[in-house]
Amino acid sequence: MPTDPSKPVLPKCVDARKLVQREQCLDGILPLDSLERLSSAVESVDGAISAELRFGRDLQGHLTVRGKVTGTVELLCQRCLYPVREQLEAPFCWGIVWSEAQGKSLPKDLDPVIQGGDALNLHQILEDEILLNLPIVAYHQEECVSKRRFHFGESGAEAGGQQENPFKVLEQLKGSSGKS
């Protein structure tokens, strides 16, 4: 996905209170150099990571941010160990708070985000959302490794034939020690 030149770069730090008061909407891209943890968790980031955010209040008066982060990354396929492209779309719904205690009192549909001081590190929190939405195991949808390469249980030749007893040697030793 190529970088959209019409989308601005999102600011690194924002004051959520002011943006909520103005019911501000932000739509932009995240600079890849500010996403170090994502860069180390994936093989590569393909194109731009974009985000849409809507600041406002819910019916109970909580400061909220709703939106989504989208982008394409390449991960290692756990079957063939070649890159596999994953399209990410991470919707979120945050409740802005200033302490952990306030976060515990939020409704269950809001994820608490603590704004320390006057600024909220937007890049870091959006990177957290991306990392939380990466697949646990990445693999190609099509068959990238033949199923014949994976074996489970006995093969046909072993199943039909007589298996040698692994304790036969011990039985022979026991027999020879009893004769002395």
The SS3 assignment for 150 reads coil
CA atoms within 13 A on the CB side of 115: 19
Alpha helices in 6-135 (DSSP H): 16-21, 36-41, 100-104, 122-132
The SS3 assignment for 46 reads strand
User: Looking at the predicted structure, is the pLDDT value of residue 116 above 50?
Assistant: yes
Domain boundaries, the chain: 13-132
The pTM of the full predicted model, rounded to 2 decimals, is 0.76
Give me Rg for the CA atoms of the chain.
28
The pLDDT, as a whole number, for residue 5 is 61
pLDDT tens per residue across span 16-68? 999 999 999 999 999 999 999 999 999 999 989 999 999 999 999 999 999 99
The pLDDT, as a whole number, for residue 170 is 81
The pLDDT, as a whole number, for residue 4 is 59
Whether residue 71 contacts residue 35, with contact meaning beta carbons closer than 8 Å, is answered with: no
User: Looking at the predicted structure, is the pLDDT value of residue 1 above 50?
Assistant: no
Q: Which of 92, 20, 111 is nearest to 52 (CA)?
A: 92
The model's confidence at residue 2, banded by pLDDT at 50, 70 and 90, is very low
